Structures are given as C-alpha cells and as structure tokens.
Structure 1
Amino acid sequence: MFKAEYIFARILLPFLIGIGIFYFFATQRMISITEISLAVIFIFLLTINIIYKKAKGYKFKGITGSLIFIFFFILGGLLCLLNNHKLKQDYFAKKKYTYLKIWINDEPEQTNDILKFTANVVSGYENSNHVKLSGQLLLALKVDSMSPVKLKYGDELIVSAKYLEVEPPYNPAEFDFKRWLASKNVYEQTFINQNHLLKTDRNTGNQIIKFALDLREKQVAKYRKLIKDDEAFAVASTLILGYRADLSKETLAAYSKTGTIHALSVSGSHVAIIFFVLDFCLAFLNKKRSLKILKFILICCLICGYSLITGLSPSVVRATIMITIFITAKTFARNKNGYNTLAFAAFCQLVYNPFLIWDVGFQLSYLSVFGLIYLQPKIYKWIYVKNKWLNKIWQLIALSLSAQLVTFPLCIYYFHQFPVYFLMGNLFISIPLILIMVLGIAILIPFIDKISPIFEWIIVTTNTVLKWIADLPFSTFSSVWITLPELILMSIALSLLIYGLVSKSAKFYIISALIYIACSTITLYNDWTAIHQKKIIFFTLRKNYATAFIDGKTAVLLTDLSPDDRNYKFFIEPALQQSQINTIRFTNLERDTVSKNFIKKDNQIVFYKYNILLIDEYLNYKKIVIDSKFSSVWLTANNKYNLQNLPKELTYRHLIIDATNKDYKIANFKKFAENNKIEAHVLKKNPAYLVYLTQ
C-alpha cells in the first residue's frame, strides 16, 4: 500500500487535515486525548510489525493502512495543539501582571512615531514576585520624538502594560488581523508610551538571526550608498535582501497588475534562480561522484549564505529548506520522485511549525512548485517548437502558465484580483530578474561595486516597462470577491479540468464543466443580488464616522475621511468592493446632499423609507421641534445635546452612536438608551451596524 517513493506524499494529506481540524478545537483536554490515542495506535502498529509473520499481517493491510493514516492525522493535531502558546500552563495572559520582561523577536517597524514589533514574554512581576512565563505579545510603542529609543531584534525590555486580546474585525470584509496574528501564535496586544518601557543591557535573541539581521543592515547601507534612485534602491532592497523598503504605490501597483508581485517578495523563485545559476556555473563538477558531493556542499553553503544576507526571513528560510531537500534528493537518492520530495519538505516544516499551514506564502509556494512538477512538463509537450530560442520562450510560457493555473483560485480568494497580462509580465521580467539577482549580489562584493550604475539602470527600466504594461487597457480584473464555497468549487473544477487535459478523458471535462456552472451560478446570483441591493452600513471606526447608503452598485458615502486616508482604505473600501460598488459619491455631515432616493438636509437623512435624525454640535442647547417618526437617531460630533429634551412626540427605534463621541459621552448615551428601552448601536469596538431595506 505504501510505496517507498510516495510515502510522504501519502501521509501528508491526513497530517494536514489533522493540523487544520485540531487548530479550531484547541483545548487542554484535547492534548490528553490525542496523546493517549497516538500512543495506543503506535503500540498497536508496533505490535503488528513485530508479529507480522505469525499473525499473517498481510491479511490486514487495509486496516493497517487506515491506522497509519489515522496515526498521522492525530500526530498533525497533537503537534498543532502543542504548538499553541495559549494552551501552555505558564501562558502570560492567563493572569494580569504589573510588569513583563520581554525580548523583541522580530525587526521593529516604524510608522511615523509608532514602533511595532512582536516580543517573547520571559517573565512577569506580581506583588514583587518574579514568575516565569511564556507566549508572544504584539506591542505598539509611541516613541518620544525628542529622544526616541532605538530598538532592534533580541533587545530585552521591561514594560508596564495593560495587555488585551487582539480585537476582531468589526466591519464587513475588513482584514481579519486577529486571525492573521493567531496563525503566528500571537493573541494579545498592547499600546504603551516610551516612558513605560525600560531597556536593559541584555540582548537575548538568537545569535544567528541577530548576526543575519546585522549583516543585512550593512548590505542595505551599501545599496543606499551605491544606488542614487530612491525607487531603484527600494526595489533592490526588497527584491534581493527582503528589506521592508518604502516602495511607491505606483511601483507596487505595477508589479501587482502584471502578475509579477512575487518578484518583490524574496521567496522560492529567488532562491531557485541562485540555485540554477550556481548549478550552471559548477556544472564542471558533475564528472565524478566525489565532485558532485563537493558541488552539493558548495551550493548548499552558498544558498545558506544568501539566506543570511536576507536576514533569515521566513520565506527565504522556507525556500532554502525546500531547495536543499530537492538538491539532497537529486544528489543522493536513487529514486528521485519530485512529489515525494516536495511532500517531505512540507512535512518537515510543518513538524517544526504546524501553524505554517495558514501562511499564504507557504500555501502559494508549495502549490506553485507542485504546478511546476506536475503541469509544466505536460503543457510544454502541447506544442513542439523546433527553433532553439522560440523553444526557450515556450518553456517560460509553460512555466508561467503552470504556476498561475494552480494558484489562480487562491490568488483571487486572498488578493481579489487577477492580472490579465501575467504572461507578458512574467515573460518580460524573467531575464531582468535573473540579472537583478546576480548583479545585486555581485555589487555587494568589494571591487565589483563599480557596475552598480548598470544594476540601477536595469531596475529603473524594468519598473518603467512594467508600469507601461500595467497601464494597458483591462490590465487587471480587480475587486473580485469569492466566498469559501466558491473557492472550493473553483479549485475542484480546475483540478478536474487539468487532470482531464493530462489524461485526455472526456468525463473529467464534463464533471469540471458542471462544477464550474454551479460556481458560475453562485457568482451570477451574487451579482443579481448586488444589482438589487438596498442597504445601509454604519461603519465602526476609532475616531471618525462613515456611513454608506447603498443602492444597487452605487453608494452615497457620508464620512469625514478622504479616499486616500489609510482608515478609509482599511476599514471602508473592502466592504464597498465586496458589495460590488462601482460608483461612490463622497459627502459629509456638514453639507446638504440631494440625489436619487437619498436626501440629507436640515439634520435629517432620508434613504428610501429609512429616515434618520442627526444630532450633532449644531443642535447643542437648542430645542428640537419635530413631530415625526424616525427609524434612528444618529449621535455624532461629541455633541452636548441632552437627549432628555427630545420631544415626546418624536419616536424612533434605534440610537446610533459613532466614534466621534468621547467614551464618557458614549457611556451616558448608552445609559439613556437602557433607561428608555431603546436599542443602541455603538460604532466603536463593536460590529458595524447593517440595515437591509426592502421596497
């Protein structure tokens, strides 16, 4: 049942399912259950193996094989549970501590005067008692502009902090920051001022990572000295060293719209380029087995060296492990099975960190490599090209097609767009990317840095051409939102279609077409719903207000935010995109607005049959003389109006309190609502308020 060349390819699936399921059932009790179950199955399998001949074990192959699958299913679950910091007995968030001793476990990122980083919690102080603790904490530090503290990886700190659980998303389609952090084993966060932090003289981080980050910092400084163009410097630092440089929106958009965004994130493709260049340069060592082993050692050492100058970023380490396993199999294994080698690489990384299963980079990198192993040779065989150079181009096309096809559903699900000209973009960037990688590493070597102007020119030219491709008509399908069921259906349909193309079996075409029709039906229904939708979204924000009055695919947006504001981009725009809005009219509460089915005038808003009384600072200490029935009363602008003075003739069902009001005012408004048995919706640290209208 288990052929040696496919052993890891077979056990990986139950292992993945085990991680995925037990991730959502993480309790202390489950650890005990999985440990006992795993021990029982292991003893049974060991016993069967010992008495195999006597018990005629071959008669129970089916049961034994099923138990092996169950064993790896439970093993995946157990490793996932043991990796969960929240389940540890000494997890710091189980109690509240006055002070925490922590050390920074990643590179701090600074935005304006806020420094963000994650830290490992070492210990806590409770009533002068020192308690050993574990876990990770996301920390946002407000830096003193006059004397800013300088922090780096490994620095040990003592902080006075009130840590809270990471907040969930409050608005529709908002990025789930809580889930993303949880996939990295971070569940708590805090915001402190610089004066609540004490930096010790100790640096307790991993010395290899510290050395790698310091090394990368020196290489970035060298790039800054050699490269004059700011955008070229940012691209070089990001593309080669994995340094989080400030790329312009135009450059990021160009790489994204042309399907070449993978070139900007140091990952498998970059490590693969280095491997192929080294493999080509050291080809003369292929003559003898002893020389092949020397070649293997040299390539592994040089790839590890590259990982060091990138600061040992997770994506590069992941790619390095994958490439190293492939090289090892190529050099030493008799049966070189690509699928088994790929599965073994994934298995090894998931044993070390099961939470990698939720990492988008991990998913896309392994899917794309699977596409290259399985699909690229088959696509390449579709057309026979006699000309040598045209054949090379066709190879690149087959490579790009295979990677794009297998990752297509996930890319749409995560990034909500599809680059139409991905073939053109990837064909164009293939040669420049190799040159940029080779020259970028070369100029870091003394005496070769004189070629830096050529390196800079290649980057500038590459960016210019990609921007030209991105500006072509219909360069991308953007704002494409699909649900999880649609993703599953699309993936199944695509898998069956690919298998049908490979096996040339008509039945797979038919099944794939039927599933695709089902998926398209869901999409068409969602589109029909979007055309006929009538709803109001009162967004939850931190200090601002925003309400979208949606009629079909158009919306009137009442907000004090501009379209370029990061709060609009993060909290509001995703919801409008998900609702398939293509026309947005921006306005605010300070001016009157009249349009089809929407009126905002004299502190009143009417949208179809839903009417709102707006109470803001203009009504402070004034008497409202209105004898009417409202759907809601909207309290904004931190007004000083006394709600007790509302006319008794005025009736309403809901009280909407936005984030422009201060906390003590919000508390007073909520108390008023409770006393008068009115439903209150606070648009601060609460889910957004949605109103669906019917004609």
Structure 2
Amino acid sequence: MLRWAPYPFIRITLSLIAGILLYLILGEDLRYSAEVFAFFVAAFIIAAVYSLKVKAGVATNTAGIVGLLCFMALGFWATHLNTAKNNPQHLLHLSGQPAYYVGVVDDYVLQKPGYQSTVLQVQQVQVNGQWQPAAGNVQLSIPHDSEKVYELNYGDMLLVKGAPQEVAPPGNPNQFDYRQYLANKGIYHRHYLQAFQAQKVAASPPNPLLAASMHLRRNLDQLLRERVEARREYAISSALILGVKDELDNSIRSAYASTGTMHVLAVSGLHVGLIYLVLVWLFSFMAPTVRQRVLQAALILSFLWTYAFLTGLSPSVLRAVVMFSFVTVGTAIKRQTNIYNTIAIAAAVLLLLNPYNLKEVGFQLSFLAVLGIVYLQPKLYQLLEVNNWLLDKVWMYFTVAVAAQVATLPLGLYYFHQFPVYFWFANLVVVPAAMFALYTGITALALSWVPVLSGLLFALHAGIVWLMNWFNGLVQNLPYALLNGIDITALQTWLLYGLFITLILFMALKKLRYFAMATVIVAVLAAQEVWETVQQKEQELFTIYNVRGATGVALVQGQQATVLADSLLLLNESDYTFNIQPHLWHIGVEQPQFASLGGGAAMAATFTMLPDSNSLLVWQGQRMLLLSHPPQLLSKQPLTLDYLLLRNNVRLKPQDLQSYAPGKVVLDASNSPWYRQRLHQQLDTLGIAYYDVADSGALVVRLR
C-alpha cells in the first residue's frame, strides 16, 4: 500500500498543478478566482479548528482535503494573475490601432545575421492622436547591418512607429504552434520593423540586478569569442558555459539532437548539478559541526547563485539553482527530508512565481529527468556489481543516462518525434567531456587576467569542445542513429507514463493488480495503433501548404506521398522541415518522394507542362491548373477545373479568369501580400470562390 504521509509537499504541489491545469482548460470561463481561494481558506480554518476539537479521523481527513483544495484554488488564482491578457490595459483590449507606442526592452537581445530580436514591454500607446497607458509584450525584430555587435540593450526605452500585429496561428497542420509558445511567455504581438521605425529615447532597466547580470554575461561572451577562435567551438563554449545560443547553427543542433546530448547545450540542471558536485567536494572538510555546515551551505549557495548571475539569470538556470538550493539547505540543517519533497518544494516555488512554467518543455523535462535519476538510477545501478573503478564509473554514467532517458521518453517522443538510438553511448563520452569543458571554461574565464595560465586553460577547453563535436558527428553517422517520424498524441503520452508508473508499482509492491493495469494500457495503446494504421492505409488527400515565398503540394495515397515543390522549397530544407514534415509524419508518411513542379508524372499523377509554361495536374480525378506565368491558351469554352492555383504573383487580367471554370481559386504563399489583396477584390467582384493559403492556412482536401 502506498503511504502518502511522508510526502506532504508532493500532495501540495500536485494540488497546485491541478489548479493551474484547471485554469488553462477553463480559466476564461471561470471568474472570481480570488474569491474562490478566500472561500477555501476560510473553509480550511473552520475544518482545522473543528478537527482539533473533536480529534476524529474523519474530521482530520476532511481538513486535509480542504487544505489541498486551498492549494488547488491558489494555483488557479496565481495563473489568473500571471495571464498577461487579463490586464484591462493590455494591447488586445485597445479601442483602435496605435500609431506609435513606447516600451522598454525587457529580455535578452538575440543577435542574428542581419537583425536583432528581443521583447519590448509596452508602457504607452498613441491611439487616435492621444497617448494612453498600455500593457503587453511585443516581440521585436529590428534590422541590424552595422559593425557594432549589439545596438540594443536590456532597459533601452524605444519609441516605435506603427502598430504591432497579433501573432498568427500555425499556417500548416501539426506545425509547431509558435503563437501558443509566445503566449505562454505572455507575448501576444510581433512587430517586424524597418530601421527608421524605432528610436531609442532613454534607458530605464526594469530590474537593475538583471541588467547587471546581462551586461556581465555579454562581456564574458565577448571574452570567449576572443579567446576561442574557432567559430564552431566558440558557439558550443558560449552555449555550454553562459547559455548564449546565438551562434549555434543547424548542423550543430542536429548533431547533438541526433545523439541525445542536446541537454549539454542548454545551461540547466546538468550544468548546475556538475558545479554543485564540485562545490560539495571542495567544502566536504567543513561538515562536522553545525557552524561549519551552515558556513558550507552559505558558500555553496553563494557560488551557485553567482553562476546563475553569470548566465544572465536565465529561467532554466534559476530553476536548477532553486532546486539545488533547497537540497543544500536541507543538508545543512540535517533535516530528514525526503528528496521527493525537496523536488516538490522547488517545483511549487517555481510554479507560484510563474504558473506558465508548467507548459515549458524545459521545465517538464528537467523535473522528469531528476525524478528518473533519483528513483530509477540506484535500482539500475544495483543490477550489476563492478569491481573495477573505471568500469564502475562507466556503469554509473550509463545508468544515469538510461534513467533520465526512460523518464523523459514519452514526452520526448511527443514534442520532438524522434528517438536517439545511441544516447547511452553518446552520453558516456559527452557528459564527462562537457563536465571538464565546463570546469576548464569557468576557470579560464576566472583567471583570464593571468596571460599564460588562462591561455593554456582556454586551449584545453577548446580542445575538449572540439573532441565533443567530433565524437557527436561520429555517433550521428552511425547506422540507424536516429529514429524519427514518431508521432504520438497527448493521450498516448499519458498512457505511456501510466504504463511506466504501473510497471514500477508492480515491481516495487509485487501487486498483480498493477500488472493487470499495465496490461490494459498496453492493449489500449496497441488498439489505437492498429486503428490509426488502418485509417492511414486507406487515406487519399492532397494539401497545398503555407510556405512563405514558395509553393509546396503534397499528394498522399495511403502511407506514401509525393511532395511537388518549386525550386525555392527544394533548396531550403528547413522550410520543408518546419512547414510540411510534421503534417506528413502525423498522417503516417515517414519519407515522401520529391518532385519539381513541372517535373513530369509522379505517383499516378499526370503532370502536363503547357506551352505557356504553366502546368496541369490530374490526380485521383481532381484537375488542378497551376498558373505561374501569364496564360496564353485562352479559349471561348471555359476549361473545367476543380482548383486553379495562382502562384508567384502571376500576371492575370480579371477577364482571363472567365476562361476557366474552377471549383475554387487558390492563392498560395508564394504570392506577395499586395498581390493577394488586389486579387481578393477582383475575385469578390466576379463572385468567384477563392481560398488564400497565407491568410487561412494550408488547404487540406480529403478525398477518402
């Protein structure tokens, strides 16, 4: 039987999470969150006083349940308070479009070739000629062509001309929802500026401590840039030590993601944990007396928070430092606290500060990885007794990697749709290498004023980073290194975790009912998979995707597909990966064929190039004419079509449309905004039905 008494903070944190989830599901429809919280607090006080008087088990249990409901209501209320759009002065509630607005740079400045990106906290807007207070965050992108590395700084106050636009929803099915991602950070608007639209008028950092931290991190990053000359090694070094990822290119990210070592590049729990272990070892001689334990804890905490300061007080580092701070304090006061309670306290504090942490992928993966390591790693480690010191360390690192991977596996499949097969092998080398790279890098920065010694340390650090990159490239190129195209639903993710938990309970408690529950979950997962496969094998559909500046059409029959693409899409793999691939994976297509528009027959489709350089596609009884050049084959008898696809700002007279009898005119995202707006007016005048992919998202037509 499970005993909950030793885990009070787990119960509290789970109640808090339940309240947050309730708000995220029903929040906009439920009001009076503060009043509900006050009601439950009053009810708890009454129940607690009554239970103390009667000293009955039922009364005590009732008080406990009401107490948990208090934390649930607290989670609901905290989420309401942290939802930016609930502010009456928010940009979403303005009576008109602002002509100007004033705000303060309130985030890190991301440096990219040709532009800088940051977040502006709006303070005032000018609407209808009148200035008024306003609130809200806007993600700004500003052109940047000067030789100066940074032109914007945290705390800069900007006067911006123009109106920010609400973040658009995903333009394609199953595409990453960037709008929701920004909304979780309290950002609902974006603004792409020309250089003349923004002017710095003052400097007023909202948080002086954060401003100092960012300034220090920027200086340390510049020092790394100067001392680690190879661009690739510098990019890894800056990400590993400071959390600056501006220089990480797609090839680096792909290599580390394919080997299951991407966590090394995200300054978070791993890095803080490595620093914590060294600090505990360095100050281990101070443990015997109470005074020494307190001094030891104070030193460890000061170093941990100093490191957080060096990394710009980024959320991922703060999350880890808070967790290890609780561990340090618990150790210092010799409290017999359960490690699970410590983890729960850290989670509760972070969620109260920002309930939307719960929706952060990093937050979820961090706590699941820690729980996996704490619970599973000791049990895996005990399966094999190794007498050799070196092999024992290898076995320990192996069990740590496996425990963390198992705990995060369902969530990793859900978010990233891939599984790195050799994660266990890669982590055996990369994690220890990252540990030494972190230690040597921090020491080199600390001793940068000592020329010879710091030069040796920077050289050693760069060599270790080079070795990490070389090894990751080696593992990435091994056969079957990465299984991708794995698509599971949120329900299947929950079922997988249910399966893991029931199997763990069965092995821990030796109760057959948990094995029976696991069997039922496996049966449900298998039935879902069979049903999904049957549905996919019978499907027939085509999709015209929303790819800015390009044309992409997928013809899907069963679990096979052909993607017809123009030259821009064929040359830009990232456009395909971001816009099209998630949808194909979702419908069971792992690897489609590619064909250039006008490249001939493909997958039972007849693709006819017409003399005027346009093309006619006939597939599964559907006739689609793709116009990218002025039509010259006009006849008095209208050509019957199911779809007329207009692309690349094709020059077209309104009367030309009378030569066709399309079921629907489709404008794809290769057309410019001004062109689409003009066509809208012409098509409305002619009474012709049309579909604008750039405005309405990808057009998906299911034939079966």
Query: Any conservation in 2 of the 1:48–1:57 contact (CA below 8 Å)?
Result: no
Confirm or deny that 1:423 pairs with 2:431.
no
Query: What does residue 683 of structure 1 align with?
Result: 693
Separation in 2, partners of 1:574, 1:415: 10
SS at match of 1:519: helix
Q: CA deviation at 1:462?
A: 2.0
Separation in 2, partners of 1:39, 1:228: 59
Q: CA deviation at 1:616?
A: 3.1
- Written as runs of structure 1 = structure 2, the 5 A alignment for 1:538-549 is 538-549=544-555
Confirm or deny that 1:581 pairs with 2:589.
yes
Query: What does residue 564 of structure 2 align with?
Result: 557
Corresponding residue to 2:508 among 502, 505, 510: 502
- Structure 2: state its 5+ residue gaps: none
CA deviations 1:311-358 (Å, max 9, x no partner) are 111111111111101111121152221111111100011111111000
Query: Any conservation in 1 of the 2:100–2:163 contact (CA below 8 Å)?
Result: no
Q: CA deviation at 1:520?
A: 2.9
Query: Any conservation in 2 of the 1:23–1:81 contact (CA below 8 Å)?
Result: no
One-letter amino acid matched to 1:641: L
Query: What does residue 676 of structure 2 align with?
Result: 666
Cα 1:457–1:147 change in 2 (3 A) is closer
Query: Any conservation in 2 of the 1:425–1:469 contact (CA below 8 Å)?
Result: yes
Q: CA deviation at 1:652?
A: 3.1
Corresponding residue to 2:480 among 474, 477, 483: 474
Query: What does residue 87 of structure 1 align with?
Result: 86
Separation in 1, partners of 2:636, 2:515: 69
- Written as runs of structure 1 = structure 2, the 5 A alignment for 1:142-181 is 142-143=143-144, 150-181=151-182
CA deviations 1:24-57 (Å, max 9, x no partner) are 4344x7442x222221221122133345444556
Q: CA deviation at 1:62?
A: 3.3
Cα 1:582–1:334 change in 2 (3 A) is closer
Separation in 2, partners of 1:570, 1:180: 15
One-letter amino acid matched to 1:77: F
Confirm or deny that 1:522 pairs with 2:521.
no
Query: Any conservation in 1 of the 2:264–2:431 contact (CA below 8 Å)?
Result: no
Q: CA deviation at 1:209?
A: 1.2
CA deviations 1:484-523 (Å, max 9, x no partner) are 1211211211221232233344443343233123213323
Separation in 1, partners of 2:472, 2:145: 40
Query: Any conservation in 2 of the 1:31–1:78 contact (CA below 8 Å)?
Result: no
Q: CA deviation at 1:543?
A: 2.8
Cα 1:54–1:203 change in 2 (3 A) is closer
SS at match of 1:639: coil
Separation in 1, partners of 2:572, 2:172: 18
One-letter amino acid matched to 1:571: N
One-letter amino acid matched to 2:649: N
Separation in 2, partners of 1:688, 1:74: 40
Cα 1:639–1:488 change in 2 (3 A) is same
Query: What does residue 488 of structure 1 align with?
Result: 494
One-letter amino acid matched to 2:650: N
SS at match of 1:684: helix
Q: CA deviation at 1:303?
A: 0.9
Separation in 2, partners of 1:642, 1:294: 82
Q: CA deviation at 1:104?
A: 0.8
One-letter amino acid matched to 2:375: Y
Separation in 2, partners of 1:353, 1:537: 39
Confirm or deny that 1:599 pairs with 2:610.
no
SS at match of 1:138: strand
Query: What does residue 632 of structure 1 align with?
Result: 643
Query: Any conservation in 2 of the 1:31–1:81 contact (CA below 8 Å)?
Result: no
One-letter amino acid matched to 2:643: S
Q: CA deviation at 1:432?
A: 1.2
Confirm or deny that 1:458 pairs with 2:459.
no
Return 95-104 or 313-322, whichever deviates more.
95-104
Separation in 2, partners of 1:533, 1:539: 18
Query: Any conservation in 1 of the 2:51–2:60 contact (CA below 8 Å)?
Result: no
Cα 1:634–1:66 change in 2 (3 A) is same
Query: Any conservation in 1 of the 2:22–2:76 contact (CA below 8 Å)?
Result: yes
Cα 1:130–1:654 change in 2 (3 A) is closer
Q: CA deviation at 1:274?
A: 0.3
Query: What does residue 433 of structure 2 align with?
Result: 432
Query: What does residue 614 of structure 1 align with?
Result: 626
Q: CA deviation at 1:557?
A: 1.7
Q: CA deviation at 1:582?
A: 4.2
Considering only aligned residues, what root-mean-square deviation do their CA atoms show, in Å? 2.5
Q: CA deviation at 1:392?
A: 2.7
Q: CA deviation at 1:410?
A: 0.2
One-letter amino acid matched to 2:404: A
Separation in 2, partners of 1:579, 1:53: 59
One-letter amino acid matched to 1:42: V
Cα 1:54–1:230 change in 2 (3 A) is closer
SS at match of 2:691: strand
One-letter amino acid matched to 1:460: W
Q: CA deviation at 1:414?
A: 0.7
Return 651-660 or 684-693, whichever deviates more.
651-660
One-letter amino acid matched to 2:7: Y
Separation in 2, partners of 1:310, 1:147: 22
Q: Normalising by the residue count of structure 1, what TM-score does the alignment of the two structures yield? A: 0.93
Separation in 1, partners of 2:515, 2:46: 46
Separation in 1, partners of 2:338, 2:204: 44
Query: What does residue 303 of structure 1 align with?
Result: 304
Q: CA deviation at 1:584?
A: 3.6
Query: What does residue 663 of structure 2 align with?
Result: 653
Separation in 2, partners of 1:452, 1:146: 26
Query: What does residue 187 of structure 2 align with?
Result: 186
Q: CA deviation at 1:60?
A: 1.9
SS at match of 1:243: coil
SS at match of 1:581: coil
SS at match of 2:601: strand
Return 36-45 or 266-275, whichever deviates more.
36-45
Query: What does residue 216 of structure 1 align with?
Result: 217
Q: CA deviation at 1:287?
A: 2.2
- Written as runs of structure 1 = structure 2, the 5 A alignment for 1:86-125 is 86-95=85-94, 96-125=97-126
Query: What does residue 340 of structure 2 align with?
Result: 339
Separation in 2, partners of 1:66, 1:310: 41
Query: What does residue 511 of structure 1 align with?
Result: 517
CA deviations 1:244-286 (Å, max 9, x no partner) are 2423433322221221111111100100000001111111111
Separation in 2, partners of 1:428, 1:174: 34
Query: What does residue 264 of structure 1 align with?
Result: 265
SS at match of 2:570: coil
- Structure 1: state its 5+ residue gaps: none
Q: CA deviation at 1:149?
A: 8.0
Query: What does residue 350 of structure 1 align with?
Result: 351
SS at match of 1:438: helix
Separation in 1, partners of 2:54, 2:142: 66
Query: Any conservation in 2 of the 1:149–1:194 contact (CA below 8 Å)?
Result: no
Query: Any conservation in 1 of the 2:12–2:71 contact (CA below 8 Å)?
Result: yes
SS at match of 1:618: coil
Separation in 1, partners of 2:433, 2:674: 59
Query: Any conservation in 1 of the 2:595–2:602 contact (CA below 8 Å)?
Result: no
Query: Any conservation in 2 of the 1:543–1:660 contact (CA below 8 Å)?
Result: yes
One-letter amino acid matched to 2:641: F
Confirm or deny that 1:572 pairs with 2:580.
yes
Separation in 1, partners of 2:15, 2:52: 28
Query: Any conservation in 2 of the 1:114–1:143 contact (CA below 8 Å)?
Result: yes
Return 315-324 or 246-255, whichever deviates more.
246-255
Separation in 2, partners of 1:163, 1:579: 35
Separation in 2, partners of 1:195, 1:373: 54
